[in-house]
Amino acid sequence: MSFFGFGQSADIDISLDGTENRKMAEIKSEDGKKERHFLYYDGETVSGKVNVTLKKPGSKLEHQGIKIEFVGQIELYYDRGNHHEFTSLVKELARPGELIQNTLYAFEFLNVEKPFESYTGSNVRLRYFLRVTVVRRLSDVVKELDIVVHTLSCYPDMNNSIKMEVGIEDCLHIEFEYNKSKYHLKDVIVGKIYFLLVRIKIKNMEIAIIKRETTGSGPNTFTENETIAKYEIMDGAPVRGESIPIRVFLAGYDLTPSMRDINKKFSVRYYLNLVLMDEEDRRYFKQQEITLWRKGEKTRKNLQTSPSPQLLVTGGAESFIPAHNHSSDPQDPAGTIEDMKQDTNEEEHSSKMTVQTADAHGDACSTNLTADGMDE
């Protein structure tokens, strides 16, 4: 192939400036493996050198120009043919001509805007990379180098606690409270649950952190739910007046900041899901959205920016939503996630709900319960 001019006749190496003092960050690749790349922030300059090495010393390489690009790109897995570039900067390194020896080129992208955080999810990937292209008539020589971008936020001015009284009329009334509605990625969720009325034989209670990734729009909307963590916080039947403390440490989990409508392509939201199971194996859950943000380090105070406008909190429902215990998802044995996907937009604010049970012959029957209308 090289004899006919089709093969790659040069190697390209990209080196970044200041790497000896620059941190590296891990990010998942498309196949789920962890990769480490140099870490950058919004507004930082990206500079370095490009070394073009001829494979055959003494030979020459004809080209139509050499360029380097800084690219911010969103790739939706269901639409792999189209890469959506929200940032694209180009620098010309060399005009058309010939290379007769190994050549080193310097480049600099000054104060580059990097509006979104790097992210690899179930159905979408947002990446930043440098791409060097030696343009040739038959086949270009291309080299890419990925970097990781983190978006920093300062402490939210408004960070009210979440306090809500929910339940089923004349059966169960509980009040739950979380100390904040916005948490940084190394924070601790502290809360408490109070039982005001208990007429259901509750067997246990658990709390879970759920990440919901939504991609696309219209008929091409895909929603993927992932249970990040799950804890049993109560075992046994509570009595009226009982209180259960909650303390969840976020630092040990692979979390990203909440992302709202990133470039009109995808969103990532987090929820605290409180699940109760009674002795008849019926499950009730209450879901509350929380906002996660990345806290700026002390050594980078000058890089901290205001909270991104997509970091907003959406209030949850005011009633428990029963979920059927027929899930086949090993990450969600309670079967709550599938119900959440169906019910979030339609029934979250409904004052009625249905709990399915089975009679002595195994036939399904329904019992209508009215939720406690605390909004009223």
Provide the b/e sequence for 279-294 (b: ≥16 CB within 10 Å): eeebbbbbbbbbbbbb
Pair 88, 24 in one domain: yes
Pair 170, 140 in one domain: no
Pair 282, 194 in one domain: yes
Q: Please check whether residue 322 lies inside any domain of the structure.
A: no
Q: Which of 66-75, 106-115, 155-164, 193-202 has the lowest mean pLDDT?
A: 155-164
Q: Please check whether residue 357 lies inside any domain of the structure.
A: no
Pair 135, 173 in one domain: no
Q: Which of 61-75, 202-216, 311-325 has the lowest mean pLDDT?
A: 311-325
pLDDT digits (tens, 9 = 90+) for 99-124: 989 999 999 999 999 999 999 999 99
Pair 178, 145 in one domain: no
Q: Please check whether residue 106 lies inside any domain of the structure.
A: yes
Burial class of residue 26 (count of CB atoms within 10 Å of its CB; 0-12, 13-18, 19+): exposed
Pair 134, 205 in one domain: no
Q: Taking Cα atoms as reference points, which of 57, 121, 135 lies closest to residue 92?
A: 135
Domain span at residue 176? 162-293
Domain C-terminal end among 149, 177, 203: 149
CA–CA separation, 246 vs 47, rounded Å? 47
3-class state of residue 108 by DSSP: strand
* pLDDT level of residue 8 (50, 70, 90 thresholds): low
Q: In which element (H, E) is residue 329 found?
A: none
* HSE toward the beta carbon, residue 237, CA cutoff 13 A: 11
Q: Which of 120-134, 205-219, 330-344, 354-368 has the lowest mean pLDDT?
A: 354-368
Pair 186, 285 in one domain: yes
The pTM of the full predicted model, rounded to 2 decimals, is 0.75
CATH number of the domain within which 118 lies = 2.60.40.640
Q: In which element (H, E) is residue 342 found?
A: helix 336-343
Pair 136, 170 in one domain: no
Pair 15, 129 in one domain: yes
Q: Please check whether residue 184 lies inside any domain of the structure.
A: yes
Q: Please check whether residue 130 lies inside any domain of the structure.
A: yes
pLDDT for res 140: 92
Q: Is residue 58 scored above 70 in pLDDT? A: yes
pLDDT over 90 for what percent of the chain?
52
Say if residues 168 and 369 touch (Cβ distance below 8 Å).
Answer: yes
CA–CA separation, 150 vs 103, rounded Å? 33
CA–CA separation, 71 vs 102, rounded Å? 26
Provide the b/e sequence for 132-143 (b: ≥16 CB within 10 Å): bbbebeeeebeb
**Residue 228, token pair as written in the block:** 């990040």
Pair 112, 194 in one domain: no
Domain C-terminal end among 239, 267, 293: 293
pLDDT digits (tens, 9 = 90+) for 230-265: 999 899 888 888 899 999 999 999 899 999 999 999
CA–CA separation, 221 vs 214, rounded Å? 7
Residue with tokens 């899930």: 327
pLDDT digits (tens, 9 = 90+) for 193-222: 999 988 888 889 999 999 999 998 888 889
Give the mean pLDDT of 151-179.
84
Pair 137, 192 in one domain: no
- Counting the structural domains of the chain, the total is 2
Q: Taking Cα atoms as reference points, which of 25, 27, 56 lies closest to residue 41?
A: 25
* pLDDT level of residue 320 (50, 70, 90 thresholds): very low
Neighbours of 183 (CB within 10 A): 24
Q: Please check whether residue 253 lies inside any domain of the structure.
A: yes
Instruction: Tell me the DSSP string of 192-236.
Output: EEEEEEE-S-EEEEEEEEEEEEEES-GGG-EEEEEEEEEEEEEES
Give the mean pLDDT of 147-153.
93
* pLDDT level of residue 370 (50, 70, 90 thresholds): very low
Pair 118, 16 in one domain: yes
Q: Please check whether residue 313 lies inside any domain of the structure.
A: no
CA–CA separation, 56 vs 41, rounded Å? 39
Domain C-terminal end among 256, 273, 293: 293
Q: In which element (H, E) is residue 148 found?
A: strand 141-150
Instruction: Tell me the DSSP string of 48-82.
Output: EEEEEEESSTT--EEES-EEEEEEEEEEEGGGTT-
pLDDT for res 376: 30
Angle at 300 between CA 209 and CA 24, to 5 degrees: 65
pLDDT digits (tens, 9 = 90+) for 25-40: 999 887 878 999 999 9
Q: What is the mean pLDDT of the chain?
A: 79
pLDDT digits (tens, 9 = 90+) for 116-146: 999 999 999 999 999 999 999 888 999 999 9
